[in-house]
Structures are given as C-alpha cells and as structure tokens.
Amino acid sequence: MTTTQKGATAAQGWYLFLFLLGFTLGPAGLYGLGWPVALIGFGMLAASFAGFRSIKEPPAPRAEAREEAPAVGTRAVKSY
C-alpha cells in the first residue's frame, strides 16, 4: 500500500456534514417533524452516499511481479 493520504479533503468534509444532517433530519421527521422533513433528510443521505462514491479514488494498479519464495532451508530472521 503506497497511499499516504492522512487528512480529509474539503469534499469529504462537506459530504460528511451532509450525511450527519440527513441522518438527524430523517428520523426526526419520522418521529415528530413531519414527512417533508423526513424526505429531505433521507434525500440528504442519498446525496451524501452518491457524493462519497463520486470522490472515491480508484484502486492503484497492482504490480504483477511476484516475489520468489525463499529456497528450502533458508530462514529469514528479523531482529528488532
């Protein structure tokens, strides 16, 4: 694995915010705020899922070269 990304991008932050808001409004609309609020919340959830999928990077191509197995009787010793 050669990916060294450690922080989130601005798009990831906005989609996370949209997910949290939709996750709050959806059940709150079902419980007491009404169907329009619930539909808006569930729409926000769907939009956040679609947004996360759109910014996902494709996996890096794998190297086809395989490492050779060590010869029989050879031991690899790791000293820490």
The pTM for the full model equals 0.62
pLDDT of residue 19: 96
d(Cα 53, Cα 55) in Å, to the nearest integer?
6
Q: Are 61 and 3 in contact (CB under 8 A)?
A: no
Query: CA end-to-end span of the chain, whole Å?
Result: 22
pLDDT of residue 18: 96
- Where the chain has pLDDT below 50, the residues are none
